[in-house]
Structure 1
Amino acid sequence: MMQSSSVIDLLGRPLGVLRLSLTARCNLACPYCCPDSVEPQGLLSTLDQLRLIHSACALGVHTLRLTGGEPLLTDRLWPLLEALSVGRATPGHPLSRLKDLAITTNGSLLDDAKAQQLRALGVDRITISLDAVDAESIARMAGLRRGAEAGLELFKRVLAGIDAARAAGYEPDQGALKLNAVIQRGRNDDQLIPLARLARQQRMELRLIEYMDVGNRNGWCLDQVMPATEMIQILHSHWPLQPIGRQPGGTSSQWLYQDGEGSIATIASITEPFCSDCNRLRITADGQAFTCLFASEGIDLRRWLRMDVSDSELAEVMTQLWTGRSDRFSEDRGLMQVGNHHAEMAYLGG
């Protein structure tokens, strides 16, 4: 089953990153992501997850990102990490090809014990999501019903989570701890400077994400998208920036603060699509494989996870899935009909 190089899709894009969702549930209800929190039926077992990761690594995956929902909300995280840790440390094992293991969390459940455990089990990077600094704005973006009071409580928990991650050895200066923020015009665009100021104080890279048309119930419209170029212009007027660019296969374009106080990045899926070198495969908590974040439906892999199906058969199915891939929705967005059905963000794992 081991292969010497990545499988290539119809547009010449190699498989490199696997985003595996552990749960569709979340303790927040951000309207752009998770209008409700419903777990799908038929969740993958730890063995199922490992078989999929093994096959993906044999086909060229070098980076695994664990997502949700909120991955820290499920106890299924820990046995998976334990098994990954053993495999990555075993020479010749498919998992030894896994060079980067990351997790995305809203940070509210990240305490000292969990951060230390993540570190001990080999998680290399943590990305924490926070869409505002002002308490009322936090509550609005997180879907919290108690307003500013709940927003302030969440903000304090996220800051405590950042402190816990740093204490566990996740160094922002080494790219091991980053901050994500979705910016939606008319809802939290006034938080752009406060978020950047917070990230600078915390020495964390802030990744500003354009509001995306993922899902069907978030009320997305183009007028609510603040283009990445506009965000950078606003920030540049406060703190001059120097462009670095985007790494091949990466999702973010980067800038350095000219005063030496770290960096900032933008993820511009709407206005500056990066489909041409997208190398990401997404698998949901119930085993649906999506080759595009904006896809309407996935391919159910569970039938190939039965015990009577060999690992080589599973790898062949995943190979066919990737080599037959030609999607580039963001580049084609202007040619698509309005109202296309998309899977929900919390289900896909972002």
Structure 2
Amino acid sequence: MASKSSTTLLSGWLTRRLCRHFISHIQKHYSTATAGTAVLPTNQHSNHEESARTQSRRRQLPNEIKPLSHFLEDKFGRHHTYLRISLTEKCSLRCTYCMPEEGVDLTPTNKLLSTKEIIELAKLFVRTGVKKIRFTGGEPLVRRDICDVISELNYLRKNDETYAHLQMLGITTNGVVLSRKLPGLLKAGLDSANISLDTLVPEKFTFITRRNGFDKVMRGIKDAVESDLRTVKINNVVMRGLNDDEICDFVQLTQHQHVDIRFIEYMPFDGNRWNSNKMVPFRELLSKIKGKWPDIEKLQDSANDTSKAYKVPGFKGQIGFISSMSDHFCGTCNRVRITADGNFKVCLFGGNEISLRDALRSGKSEDEMLAIIETAVKKKKARHAGMLNLAEMKNRPMILIGG
């Protein structure tokens, strides 16, 4: 007969073996496609009416539980809470810095995201922690279903706690049809509009955009500023020798209007014939503005702002500088993008993309979709390659990415 001590040792050994076997079984059975994550098993004796959404959020073993927003956190600790969705590759203008002179080959309609797919992806990202969504293009207002998309998401954030943290629904538009579309957009729940305007000279507008429409854009800006939109911003891409002489004229617009003028450094994209001589660094622009308004004040920027904000004392509006080239803000970037054809880009200047459209259409589960998203986010680099290197790198034209 075995001694009491040997029986105790045998019992302990069996217990440890059983524990290891149980843990191994749980990890193997419930692991997801993403390394290090697993879905917790549902307690068969607990509340059988627990929603599928609640179950899907259980993605870690008990000692590793993390919030769902973990899937949008990169390896540098940046949380991506701002999603930009391009609704179309089409545009009514042909801006020199956005579209190649020869135009672009448009993606066939059946390969673009459908209304349902746009909404499903937007909902997935909001459930994962996204707080702001901006719809871009091309020109997003040429898409007939834009009000339907905004209305659906606005309804959800007001009526479903799962989406209540969605703070902003915005658009970036060229403004040509904004006046006509604005009432419907406001009714749908639009919060914010960024409007592109690179010159206040009609003839120069036609040269830059290769189209007419200056008066329509100015009317759109006026109507937007006077509307119930929370914020109206004007995006101005500054190009040396073309419109850099108008900087102070744009600042003057903020004297009597609650508008945010943002001067954007000229950036290299496929087909826009970028060169460093055309790019005007933000410090040079600021110096020129200080020559006229020496008392201009620096405002406090939020943690993830891309724009360095300034204000002339006594003016209603403000200005800002988006210095992607001369003083990048990659360290605090919280933006990710989905192109009109459904590709996921974690960096505006990055060439790596992955198709969320194909994943959706192949029937991937939410867990599988999140694994794809997390893998892409975790591969995001600490910063972009620098303006001279970017000019040599392959990337889409801006119109095919989404502004």
- Counterparts of 1:69-148 in structure 2 under 5 Å? 69-93=138-162, 95-112=163-180, 114-144=181-211
Distance 2:161 2:355 in 1: 29
Distance 2:387 2:122 in 1: 34
Distance 2:277 2:311 in 1: 28
Residue 78 of structure 1 deviates from its aligned partner by 2.3
Match of 2:312 among 246, 253, 257: 257
Paired residues of 1:23 and 1:39 also in contact (CA < 8 A): no
Query: CA offsets, 1:13-43, max 9 Å, x none?
Result: 1111100000111100001002225432301
Matched residue pairs, number?
A: 333
Paired residues of 1:29 and 1:37 also in contact (CA < 8 A): no
Paired residues of 1:297 and 1:343 also in contact (CA < 8 A): no
Residue 5 of structure 1 deviates from its aligned partner by 3.8
Paired residues of 2:325 and 2:387 also in contact (CA < 8 A): no
Distance 1:19 1:311 in 2: 20
Q: Does 1:345 align with 2:393?
A: no
- Counterparts of 1:170-189 in structure 2 under 5 Å? 170=229, 176-189=231-244
Distance 2:226 2:390 in 1: 49
Match in the other structure for 1:58: 127
Paired residues of 1:116 and 1:168 also in contact (CA < 8 A): no
Residue 307 of structure 1 deviates from its aligned partner by 6.4
RMSD of aligned Cα (Å): 1.9
Comparing 223-232 with 296-305, greater Cα deviation is found at 296-305
Match of 1:301 among 356, 362, 368: 356
Comparing 115-124 with 66-75, greater Cα deviation is found at 115-124
Comparing 5-14 with 288-297, greater Cα deviation is found at 5-14
Residue 106 of structure 1 deviates from its aligned partner by 1.0
Amino acid at match of 2:214: F
* SS of alignment partner, residue 89 of structure 1: helix
Distance 1:300 1:269 in 2: 26
Amino acid at match of 2:217: V
Distance 2:324 2:354 in 1: 23
- Counterparts of 1:11-50 in structure 2 under 5 Å? 11-35=76-100, 36=103, 38-41=105-108, 42-50=111-119
Q: Does 1:195 align with 2:264?
A: no
User: Which segments of 5 or more consecutive residues in structure 2 lack a partner in the other structure?
Assistant: 1-55, 58-66
**CA gap 1:51/1:276 in 2 versus in 1, 3 angstroms:** same
- Counterparts of 1:327-346 in structure 2 under 5 Å? 327-329=382-384, 332-333=385-386, 336=389, 339-346=392-399
Identity of counterpart residues, as a percentage? 32
Structure exhibiting the larger radius of gyration computed from Cα positions: 2
Amino acid at match of 1:139: T
Residue 334 of structure 1 deviates from its aligned partner by 6.2
Distance 1:96 1:259 in 2: 36
Amino acid at match of 1:304: A
Amino acid at match of 1:212: M
- Counterparts of 1:241-320 in structure 2 under 5 Å? 241-306=296-361, 308-320=363-375
Distance 2:237 2:68 in 1: 38
Distance 2:335 2:244 in 1: 28
Higher relative contact order (CA 8 A, sep 6+): 1
Query: CA offsets, 1:136-178, max 9 Å, x none?
Result: 221122123xxxxx3xxx22111211232234312xxx5x111
TM-score normalised according to structure 2 size: 0.78
**CA gap 1:336/1:134 in 2 versus in 1, 3 angstroms:** closer
**CA gap 1:238/1:261 in 2 versus in 1, 3 angstroms:** farther
Residue 294 of structure 1 deviates from its aligned partner by 0.8
- Counterparts of 1:191-230 in structure 2 under 5 Å? 191-213=246-268, 215-230=269-284
Residue 335 of structure 1 deviates from its aligned partner by 8.0
Distance 2:149 2:390 in 1: 40
Paired residues of 2:256 and 2:317 also in contact (CA < 8 A): no
* SS of alignment partner, residue 265 of structure 1: strand
Distance 2:144 2:249 in 1: 34
* SS of alignment partner, residue 195 of structure 1: helix
Residue 323 of structure 1 deviates from its aligned partner by 2.4
Distance 1:204 1:306 in 2: 41
Residue 86 of structure 1 deviates from its aligned partner by 1.9
Paired residues of 2:225 and 2:257 also in contact (CA < 8 A): no
Paired residues of 2:274 and 2:391 also in contact (CA < 8 A): no
Distance 2:335 2:299 in 1: 22
Distance 1:193 1:337 in 2: 30
* SS of alignment partner, residue 39 of structure 1: coil
Match of 2:291 among 220, 237, 243: 237
**CA gap 1:334/1:192 in 2 versus in 1, 3 angstroms:** closer
TM-score normalised according to structure 1 size: 0.89
**CA gap 1:169/1:335 in 2 versus in 1, 3 angstroms:** closer
Distance 2:160 2:153 in 1: 13
